[in-house]
Amino acid sequence: MALIIDGKQVSQKILAELKEKTRELKETKGITPGIALLLVGDNPASKSYVASKKKACEELGYFSIVEHLPETTPEAEVLKLIHDWNHDERIHGILVQLPLPRHINELKVTLSIKPSKDVDGFHPENFGRLVIGLPGFRPCTPAGIIELLKFYKLPTSGKHIVVVGRSNIVGKPVANLLYQKNPDANAIVTICHTGASDLRRFTRSADIVIAAIGKPKFITSDFLTNGVVVIDVGINRVDDPSSPKGYKIVGDVDFDDVEPIASAITPVPGGVGPMTIAMLMKNTFLSASGELKYEA
Ligand SMILES: NC(=O)c1ccc[n+]([C@@H]2O[C@H](COP(=O)([O-])OP(=O)(O)OC[C@H]3O[C@@H](n4cnc5c(N)ncnc54)[C@H](OP(=O)(O)O)[C@@H]3O)[C@@H](O)[C@H]2O)c1
């Protein structure tokens, strides 16, 4: 029986600590953490992510602005809004919900966010800081994975970790975090992608596999060896006529097939997913409190 890594429980613990620290910050320094959330268009998944982030802000006592603009909003209007938030002292974190409509250049928008308010950690300055080990905002999902491994005392130092997926928001940053020379990382990391003609050759040699692929139940037990730790980042909607919504969420790992041979595994839902919002709230708190020394 594998240890089930309970991201819901860990995230609730982090959020409860943040709530207490937020109360103290308000009392001692008169600072209320503030976040600005931008949603452009009506993508249902994006709307639900933004609603969850707003709810988390309310529960923690953060100040939040949610701007929901129509799909046809010109790029210049989005850039102007971010410019204003960059200069708004009430706002310590700016989050633009991706994907943006096709006529808006995502990179341009990401670059327009002041790096010291980039609580998503997507700005190239923050990514560069991550790579060379300087303080900066770490992307939320990868940071959440590190927190889960730490919480369950699953060692990474000297371990071979195979990350399947090289996206800028998950695969690349988590791989870069995990090989850093510090006790919470120090792993030997392999990044796999569609260029791997025999993916099993890599995943079978892994102590820890991190799946960030975007393909439902792609990783099955034949990809893995006994005792492996499995972190499933995938969030995939698959048809499920028995569910009132008509679909269910599954990960990139075939949980039922893999769990018997794994030593620890994250479920979907309830594994990595809840950690993402918790780390966003943590980044915003660090920005507001000044605990993150952004300067070199
Ligand atoms: N839990 C959370 O909060 C959270 C946050 C973000 C994302 N997600 C989920 O995580 C998953 C990955 O997201 P993402 O944004 O990283 O996805 P992405 O940008 O689509 O990247 C997918 C990666 O998987 C690789 N890949 C696809 N098929 C493969 C195969 N057959 N063999 C080896 N590699 C393969 C791709 O390789 P190439 O580069 O060669 O195309 C790519 O690098 C999605 O299900 C997403 O919904 C969850």
pLDDT tens for residues 171-211?
A: 999 999 999 999 989 999 999 999 999 999 999 999 999 99
User: pLDDT tens for residues 2-40?
Assistant: 999 999 999 999 999 999 999 999 999 999 999 999 999
User: pLDDT tens for residues 49-98?
Assistant: 999 999 999 999 999 999 999 999 999 999 999 999 999 999 999 999 99
| Ligand 1 mean position, distance from CA 168 (Å) | 10
CA distance readout (Å), 47 to 50, 96, 99, 186, 245: 5, 12, 11, 37, 16
Domains of the chain are 29-116 (3.40.50.10860), 140-273 (3.40.50.720)
139 φ/ψ angles, rounded to the nearest 5 degrees:
-55, 145
Mean pLDDT of 116-138: 97
- Taking the CA of residue 195 as reference, the ligand 1 atom at the shortest distance is 40
Residues at CB less than 6 angstroms from ligand 1: 141, 164-167, 169-171, 192-196, 199, 212-215, 233-236, 252, 272-273, 276
Q: What angle do CA 41, 44, 50 make, to 5 degrees?
A: 75
Share above pLDDT 70 across residues of the chain, in percent, rounded to a whole number: 99
What pLDDT score was predicted for residue 296? 59
Active site (catalytic) residues: 53, 97, 120
Distance CA 231, CA 272 (A): 8
Sheet architecture: strand order including 63-69: 63-69, 34-40, 93-96
Return the residue whose CA atom lies nearest to atom 30 of ligand 1. 194
Select from 65, 43, 116 the least CA-distant residue to 86.
Answer: 116
- Taking the CA of residue 276 as reference, the ligand 1 atom at the shortest distance is 3
Return the residue whose CA atom lies nearest to atom 14 of ligand 1. 167
Question: Could you check whether the bond before residue 269 is cis, i.e. omega within 30 degrees of 0?
Answer: yes
- Taking the CA of residue 164 as reference, the ligand 1 atom at the shortest distance is 34
Q: What is the value of pTM for the model shown?
A: 0.97
Return the residue whose CA atom lies nearest to atom 41 of ligand 1. 194
Mean pLDDT of 283-292: 96
